[in-house]
Chains A and B, each alone.
Chain A
């Protein structure tokens, strides 16, 4: 069975601080996909990134960066110079191989609530 663990329930930082959200996953699949989603107070989940199990390159997008380490089954997310608008709940998720047609069945972690204050 697949499992995603986000051990940090809540993190509070002051604006401009860097913050890392941890994600550890378990799967028996050799091909899988990892995702990060952001859930602002309005409720909808906003897609941030998708990573496949064969691509361990780190990725940077503006102030966001992701560190995928297959050896430790981790897919951590770092926000550099955090801003108040980053305040939200962040979810890490895992899906089995998309080509099997089950891309929509994501296993989510319990989320990390990030509070950024002035």
Chain B
């Protein structure tokens, strides 16, 4: 089955701009979470969506936001970009608690969107 798809894979923005990243989860998965990966801070949890509702949020400023659509696809948005936002943004999907399936906690990750802010 198709894996987690993230678009775009690479993008370059300038400070002050905003960016929207997209994530299509594995078919049937209803939980989508986002992580930021940087050399300095490592992998950090941004937020998780389940059935179109934000279920959990990490310690990031309000410039970072997300949403999930009825088909479980998710987008994250970063406004007023700063140099420090340059990172690999990883999306992961899982069953969540949906459909009676056992929630193994296994996350399926996409290849990420690499954002460079100049």
* Beta-carbon contact of B42 and A104 below 8 Å: no
Residue of A whose beta carbon sits closest to that of B40:
A110
Residue of A nearest to B108 (CB): A47
Residues 71-105 of B contacting A (Cβ, < 8 Å)? 88, 90, 92, 94, 96-97, 103-105
A33 cross-chain contacts in B, Cβ below 8 A: 105
When A104-B92, A104-B94, A105-B56 are in contact, do A35 and B45 touch as well, CB less than 8 Å?
A: no
How far apart sit A107 and B41, CA to CA, in the bound complex (Å)? 12
Give Cα distance in the complex from A47 to B105, angstroms: 10
Interchain CB contact under 8 A, B109 and A46? yes
Q: Which chain B residue has the least Cβ–Cβ distance from A48? A: B106
Task: List the B side residues contacting A93 at CB < 8 Å.
Answer: 43
Task: Give 1 or 0 for each of A55-71: 1 = CB within 8 Å of chain B CB.
Answer: 00000000000000000
Chain B residues with CB below 8 A from A105, complex form: 33, 45, 48, 56, 58
CA distance A91 to B45 in the complex (A): 14
- Given known contacts A43-B88, A104-B56, A110-B42, A50 and B109 CB-to-CB distance under 8 angstroms: no
A42 CB within 8 Å of chain B:
yes
Q: State the CA gap A104–B23 with chains docked (Å).
A: 15
Interface membership of B55, Cβ < 8 A: yes
- Which stretch (A10-18, A20-28, A74-82, A94-102) binds chain B? A94-102
Chain B CB within 8 A of A90 CB: no
Is the pair A47, B106 in contact by a Cβ cutoff of 8 Å? yes
Find residues 28-70 in chain B having any chain A CB closer than 8 Å to their own CB. Answer: 31, 33, 35, 42-45, 48, 50, 55-56, 58
Question: Which of B44, B56, B105, B108 gathers most chain A CB within 10 Å?
Answer: B105
A residues near B, CB below 8 A?
A: 33, 35, 37, 42-47, 50, 91, 93, 95, 98-99, 101-111
